[in-house]
Amino acid sequence: MRIYKFLIIFLLFISSCDNDISIPNIFEAKVIGIKDGDTVEVLYEKHPIIIRLSDIDCPEKKQPYGKKAKKFVSDLIFGKEVKIVSKGKKDRWGRLIATIFINEVNVNKELVKVGLAMHFKKYSKDQSYADIEEIAKKNKVGMWEQENVIEPWNYRKHKKKHNR
C-alpha cells in the first residue's frame, strides 16, 4: 500500500513539472506536419512545435486557394530540415510566430509572391511583404486572378458571426 502512495505522489510530481523546452530564436528543425498554408508542425530536439508563419495570412481551407496554399507549403518543406527565425512570441493559441527558411528561401514571402498568402498588416509592419503582395496583385498571380478576393481575416470574422 505504501508503495502505491509513493508511486501516485511521484507520478503527480512528474506530471506537474514544466515540460516546456527552451527554444532559441533561431534554430533548425524537421517539418513533420502541415496544418494549413500558414501553420506547420516541426520537430525540434524530439519535441513537436507548432509554428504560425509571421507577417502573412493564407486563405482558410474552405476558401478558394486555401488547399493550394497548404499543398504549396507541403511540397516545399514537408519532411525537410528548415531554419526557423522567431522573436520568441506566441499567438493566443500557443503557436510560435516565426519565419521559415528552406535553402535560404523565405517561405513566408514565397507564399505572398505566388499569390497564396496576403500581407497580414494587422500584425506586421514589414513593408517588403506589402510590396511583394502588390506585385502579385498586379500580375494577377494565385488568388489575385479572381475578382473580389475575400481576406482570410474577414472570412473568419464572417464565419464566426454566422456560427453563433
Residue 40, domain CATH? 2.40.50.90
Kindly state whether residue 75 falls inside one of the protein's structural domains. yes
d(CA 83, CA 107) in angstroms, rounded, equals 10
At 160 the pLDDT is 74
Q: For the chain, how many residues are written?
A: 164
Catalytic residues: 52, 60, 95
Q: What are phi and psi of 142, to 5 degrees?
A: 55, -130
Kindly state whether residue 5 falls inside one of the protein's structural domains. no
At 162 the pLDDT is 66
Residues in the chain predicted with pLDDT less than 50, given as ranges, are 7-8, 10-18
Q: By residue range, what is the domain housing residue 115? A: 22-159
Kindly state whether residue 13 falls inside one of the protein's structural domains. no
Kindly state whether residue 9 falls inside one of the protein's structural domains. no
Kindly state whether residue 12 falls inside one of the protein's structural domains. no
Task: Look up the pTM and report it.
Answer: 0.84
Overall domain count for the chain: 1
Q: How many CA atoms lie within 13 A of 127 on its CB side?
A: 0
Kindly state whether residue 7 falls inside one of the protein's structural domains. no
Q: Torsion angle, CA of 27/136/118/126, rounded to 10 degrees?
A: 60
State how far Cα 91 lies from the chain centre.
10
At 14 the pLDDT is 42
At 11 the pLDDT is 42
Kindly state whether residue 149 falls inside one of the protein's structural domains. yes
Kindly state whether residue 3 falls inside one of the protein's structural domains. no
Burial class (CB in 10 A: 0-12, 13-18, 19+), 33: middle
At 25 the pLDDT is 97
At 2 the pLDDT is 65
β-bridge pairing 26-36 and 81-90:
antiparallel
Alpha helices in the chain (DSSP H): 2-16, 66-77, 107-113, 127-138, 152-162
Maximal CA-CA distance, the chain: 74
